[in-house]
Amino acid sequence: MNPPASLPMLTLSKLIDEDKCYETIRTMRWPEGVCCIDCGSKSITKRGKHDTYSARQRYICGECGRHFDDLTDTLFAGRHQPLQTWMACLYLMGLNVSNQQIAEELSLHKDDVHQMTSELRQAVADKRPEVQLSGTVEFDEVYVTAGHKGQPEKVKKKGARGAGGNSKGFGGTVRSKRRNRRSSG
């Protein structure tokens, strides 16, 4: 018996259900039920589904009249890639998969994946709370050598401070208040 000439390629993005992606976005965005993105009113009416993405719900606010959908004012709004592709990309990023591997898995160009991962990282960074340091803060600089592969002339200069391709890095720590734990006795 001869094997089939070609089998269809099964990729992660084909395994992810579009309905579940939109349901996840709704649950994370509005944990207590859909509300208006402008005025916050809970007086919302469903206004049908998106023409292209059948799981994408449209809404209208009963208070201010604002029209919006599941992705309005999110990173995913107005994108050419479907939501399940973005979710698969986010999942693979969480597994520490390289952009090249993500591109292969999702059948995308590596430049598109680079753009997507950059925007996802930036969105996560924008949501982080600002760190406030207090107490005594120590700060110092360090020189990091990345190597001189392919540049043998720089290897000879190694050792002199400031020579070569060292780049400065900075490190810091916050000293916490400690109680004296000596036992008397």
What pLDDT does 55 receive?
85
What pLDDT does 184 receive?
47
Q: Give per-residue pLDDT as tens, 50-98.
A: 877 778 899 999 999 999 999 999 999 988 899 999 999 999 999 999 9
Direct distance between the N- and C-terminal alpha carbons of the chain, in angstroms, rounded to an integer: 86
User: By the 8 A CB rule, do 86 and 79 touch?
Assistant: yes
What pLDDT does 41 receive?
92
Q: Give per-residue pLDDT as tens, 119-169.
A: 999 998 888 888 888 888 887 777 666 666 666 666 565 555 555 555 566
What pLDDT does 150 receive?
65
Give the 3-state secondary structure of residue 101: helix
Q: Give per-residue pLDDT as tens, 11-34.
A: 666 667 888 888 989 999 999 999
User: By the 8 A CB rule, do 52 and 22 touch?
Assistant: no
Q: How confident is the model over 98-116, as a mean pLDDT? A: 94
User: By the 8 A CB rule, do 57 and 33 touch?
Assistant: no
Question: Which secondary structure element, helix H or strand E, spans residue 76, and what is its range?
Answer: none
pTM for this prediction: 0.62
Question: Which secondary structure element, helix H or strand E, spans residue 138, and what is its range?
Answer: strand 136-144
